[in-house]
Amino acid sequence: MTSCARTRPGPLTPDTSIDTSALLREDRIGPRDGAGKTVVVAMSGGVDSAVTALVMRERGYRVVGMNLRLFSPDDEDHRANPCCGIPAIEDARATCAAIGVPFYAINMEIEFGEAVIDTFVNEYAEGRTPNPCLECNRHVKFRHLVHRARQLGADTLATGHYARVVHGDPSRGIPHRLYRAVDTRKDQSYVLYTMTQDQLGYIQFPLGGLTKPEVRQLAHAFGLPVADKAESQEICFVGNRSYADFVSARRPDVTRPGDIVTEGGEVIGQHRGLVNHTVGQRRGIGIAAPKPYFVLQLRTRENQLVVGSREQAQASAVTVDRVSMTAGAWPEEPFDASAVVRYRGAPSPATITLGEPGSGGATTEFHGGEGPIASPGQAIVFYRDDEVLGGGTISEVHRRQADGAARAAG
């Protein structure tokens, strides 16, 4: 772990021509309760984490910036995707210097490679659809950041995620709760459902009550050096390449051509490697037909791409494993919730039946005329209004058939 020299705190003052008072109200950013307390802020080098550090300073905390170096792109100057390499570290360092807070950089490329990149590649090679951001949060960011923050004696950890935490009192049976962000276009609660009660009690998301334009406004008002920095739109380690290119470079076996078949086994075309396809895909299959085909399943053992109609692609139910419930309790009775199977996907009404305590398993049955298009490996997250109840990983998809029957695909 390396650090930059400490700088004199508080050099930044707001541009008086920009009114920030409404954005810095306690009902927007949290209470001004930081006197005598220290917060570690996860600094990615982007505008969201920069404003998070600024907001926590405005709330009275002694701020310590911490950057996790997770992945170094192959190109020397890191242009492929600068969010994880040296440019990101330098932007985070510059922000901390501007705000006047200490900065620490931690190299966690090995942990990230093992827990996130290797899992991503292997899951895609098995025909599943993983979410690397969720796995990064689960295995790297919150586990190690919380540990490091506590090692430094910090009272809390803050990150630039768009979500909200309402802290409870577990000693009195009142759990901490996780909610969607105010800005639904930026909400990241889908990739945070694995957080434990211990983590939720220690972590703050001060941007959860702000919108992205308001965050930019604060950055400009205080003259932060990353105020106009563009957002990273891709998975950090993939960059501007395709998922298929990234995976095939590490697993050349996934590029073998094979048959495109219907559910009944009729061969109707050839694919150029299963890695080029995901369940639910409509474009790029390469088959002309009166109605578009959708990818239903990737049969990796047979190297077959199974396609069908949109109706066939819709799930009637899914089997879920690695389930965690955000409030910590494991409901014994089935419960109704809105289920989301894609990042910022549309919610589907569903009934969730959990397995025995400790099993980590559940079955989710969808209601209504149209179910979501789901894939093994995807996360499914359960909501009640804006509250995150929990979630898990889809292991098997039960799909509707044209004749009303159901069939499982895992």
Q: Does the structure show a pLDDT above 80 at 106?
A: yes
Residues 306 and 386 in one domain: no
* Helix axes 47-58 and 86-99, enclosed angle (nearest 10): 20
Q: Does the structure show a pLDDT above 50 at 184?
A: yes
Residues 295 and 349 in one domain: no
Residues 22 and 155 in one domain: yes
Residues 302 and 318 in one domain: no
245 assigned to some structural domain: no
What is the residue range of 110's domain?
A: 2-221
Question: How does pLDDT run across 271-306, given as a tens digit for each residue?
Answer: 989 988 988 888 889 888 888 899 999 999 999 999
Q: Look at residue 64 in the predicted model and tell me its pLDDT.
A: 97
Residues 155 and 206 in one domain: yes
Please, is 259 exposed, middle or buried when counting C-beta atoms within 10 Å of its C-beta (0-12, 13-18, 19+)? middle
The last residue of one of the domains, among 169, 204, 221, is: 221
Arithmetic mean of pLDDT, 352-364: 95
Residues annotated as catalytic (active site), given as ranges? 136, 236
Alpha carbons 313 and 290: distance in angstroms, whole number: 17
Torsions phi, psi for 39 (to 5 deg) = -125, 135
Residues 150 and 276 in one domain: no
Q: Which residue has the higher pLDDT, 23 or 19?
A: 23
Residues 275 and 353 in one domain: no
Residues 93 and 156 in one domain: yes
Arithmetic mean of pLDDT, 371-380: 92
H helices, E strands: number in the chain: 11, 19
User: Residue 207's domain is classified under what CATH number?
Assistant: 3.40.50.620
User: Residue 286's domain is classified under what CATH number?
Assistant: 2.30.30.280
The 10 Å Cβ neighbour count of residue 405 is 9
248 assigned to some structural domain: no
- At residue 394 the predicted structure's pLDDT band, cuts being 50, 70 and 90, is very high
197 assigned to some structural domain: yes
- At residue 8 the predicted structure's pLDDT band, cuts being 50, 70 and 90, is very low
Q: Look at residue 234 in the predicted model and tell me its pLDDT.
A: 63
Name the least confident of 4-13, 115-124, 339-348, 388-397.
4-13
The last residue of one of the domains, among 278, 311, 344, is: 311
User: Residue 375's domain is classified under what CATH number?
Assistant: 2.40.30.10
Q: Does the structure show a pLDDT above 60 at 405?
A: no
Residues 201 and 326 in one domain: no
Residues 274 and 390 in one domain: no
238 assigned to some structural domain: no
262 assigned to some structural domain: yes
Question: How does pLDDT run across 315-339, given as a tens digit for each residue?
Answer: 999 999 999 999 999 999 999 999 9
Residues 48 and 142 in one domain: yes
- At residue 361 the predicted structure's pLDDT band, cuts being 50, 70 and 90, is very high
Average pLDDT for the chain: 88
Percent over 90 (pLDDT), the chain:
61
Please tell me the total count of domains within the chain: 3
287 assigned to some structural domain: yes
Alpha carbons 116 and 135: distance in angstroms, whole number: 6
Instruction: Give first-to-last CA distance, the chain, whole Å.
Output: 42
> Look-up: residue for tokens 């009729």?
266
Residues 327 and 215 in one domain: no
- At residue 7 the predicted structure's pLDDT band, cuts being 50, 70 and 90, is very low
12 assigned to some structural domain: yes
- At residue 110 the predicted structure's pLDDT band, cuts being 50, 70 and 90, is confident
CB–CB of 3/208 below 8 Å? no
Q: Does the structure show a pLDDT above 50 at 354?
A: yes
244 assigned to some structural domain: no
Q: Look at residue 75 in the predicted model and tell me its pLDDT.
A: 57
What is the per-residue DSSP string for 67-127?
EEE----SSTT--S-TTSSHHHHHHHHHHHHHHT--EEEEE-HHHHIIIIIHHHHHHHHTT
**Tell me, what amino acid is at 378?**
Q
